[in-house]
Amino acid sequence: MRWIGFLSLVALSECLVTVPLTKIKSMRESLRERDLLRDHLQRYAHSRANKLLRQPRVTVEPMRNYLDIYYVGIISIGTPPQKFKVVFDTGSADLWVPSIYCSSPACVTHKTFKPRESSTFQDADRPIWLLYGSGSMTGLLGYDDVRVGDLVCKSQAFGLSTTESGIALEFAAFDGILGLAYPTLALKDTTPVFDSLWKQGLLPENLFAFYLSSNKEKGSVVMFGGVDHSYYRGELQWVPVSTQGFWQITVDSISMNGTVVACPGGCQAIVDTGTSLVIGPLDPVLNILKNIHTWTTSTGEYVVSCDDVQSLPDIVFTINNVTYPVPASAYIRRVRGCPGGCNLDIDTSGSSSLWILGDVFLRLYFTVFDRANNRIGLAPAVV
């Protein structure tokens, strides 16, 4: 909020006091008479410029879209910097990259961190293990300087993988993962990257935001410390975080053609940039699939006729009394090797009653993750 100066006027009913005024020379006039004005203005301008340069500013890191499956940005670790491709993942809280100590196939095909080539690396002598939906890693904990854009996070905890399991990691277009969830999900006694950036005074605001492009390799960004309003339309609608671990929120209902098809009494959902699909529990998702007349392929995928895509209804998520439609053009894509068949980017592998709003949803809505107020902001993304 910007405070505006104002003049308070007081009426004196009993008397009017007149005070003679004597004009006092301004500082500018006094300095001019003494031929010191130019030097003063130059010093002032230099001081103001330095102050502005010292102010933290929003950092925008470009990401590459890999076939609408995941979004990858560049960071570096160590001194001198060693560059890595990472997924900026709101569904986890740890940073890790492959290391030269790893001989798994996934490490052989990716860039590996070399601790001995960094003068700022510190070994924590502590084994770690991390599990993801698409694989897992074991490794060692270390500390080093981590660079995201023009931000340098000093002595940041990160994992150096010694084994990586899962075919998804082996053929991934990224080297590692940078988690952006709450610290409660991070390895014990470590501070996640975003929290370190904030604590080290590198960010003007305690938030970050995502813009995910659709069907374009370039144009996607993650921004730290502020919001660029040119990436969305209208006003941000704020949703309270219901549980501080994942970025978890309450969904009021999920409907199609005005009829509730899932989540009738409300349910919980994770807003997750590291998941490409919308994922939900089996029965509610099957109910959605029934409403769009799918059939199952030999590989177990749910498919619809591509000719029917234009006539299929939106899936509408109502969140904090605001509707967020997801059209068929967003949740359906053409399948290679299946003539006339289009696949659904909705998965039934959800556990319990928890939903995951992944990139299928986030490509439509610019998303702000506000740690200062424990809330998520959503607005239609600019196409």
Residue 372 inside a domain? The answer is yes
Looking at the fold, whether 180 and 141 belong to one and the same domain comes out as yes
Same domain, 195 and 273: no
Examine residue 22 and state whether it is found in any structural domain, yes or no. Answer: no
Per the domain annotation, does 125 fall within a domain? yes
Q: Which residues contact 74 (CB under 8 A, 6 or more apart)?
A: 61, 83, 84, 85, 86
Q: Which of 191, 224, 257 is the last residue of a domain?
A: 224
Claim to verify: residue 215 and residue 243 sit in the same structural domain: no
Which structural domain range is residue 326 located in?
232-380
CATH of the domain at 284: 2.40.70.10
Largest CA-CA distance found in the chain, in angstroms, rounded: 97
State the DSSP H helix or E strand holding residue 176, giving kind and residue range, or none if neither. Answer: strand 176-179
Pairing of strands 315-319, 322-326: antiparallel
- Examine the domain organization and report whether 270 and 350 are in the same domain: yes
Residue ranges, the chain, pLDDT below 50: 1-26, 41-55
Per-residue pLDDT at 81: 98
Reported as a single tens digit per residue, the pLDDT across 93-102 is: 999 999 999 9
Give, rounded to a whole angstrom, the gap between the first and last alpha carbons of the chain: 31
Last residue of a domain, one of 203, 224, 245: 224
How do residues 110-133 score in pLDDT, each as one tens digit?
999 999 999 999 999 999 999 998
Give the pLDDT of residue 55: 46
Residues designated catalytic: 89, 272
Please state the domain count of the chain.
Answer: 2
pLDDT at 16: 30
Verify that 219 and 260 share a domain, yes or no.
no
208 and 142 within one domain: yes
Distance CA 278, CA 346 (A): 5
One-letter amino acid for residue 357 of the chain: L
Residue 75 in any domain: the answer is: yes
- Residue 25 resides in a domain: no
Instruction: Please tell me whether the overall predicted TM-score, pTM, comes out greater than 0.85 for this model.
Output: no
Residue 7 lies in a domain: no
Same domain, 269 and 160: no
Contact 268, 248 (CB under 8 A): yes
Q: Do both 131 and 278 map to the same domain?
A: no
**Looking at the structure, do residues 267 and 202 belong to the same domain, yes or no?**
no
Does residue 140 belong to any structural domain of this protein? yes
pLDDT of residue 215: 77
R_g (Cα) of the chain, nearest Å: 27
Both 83 and 134 in a single domain? yes
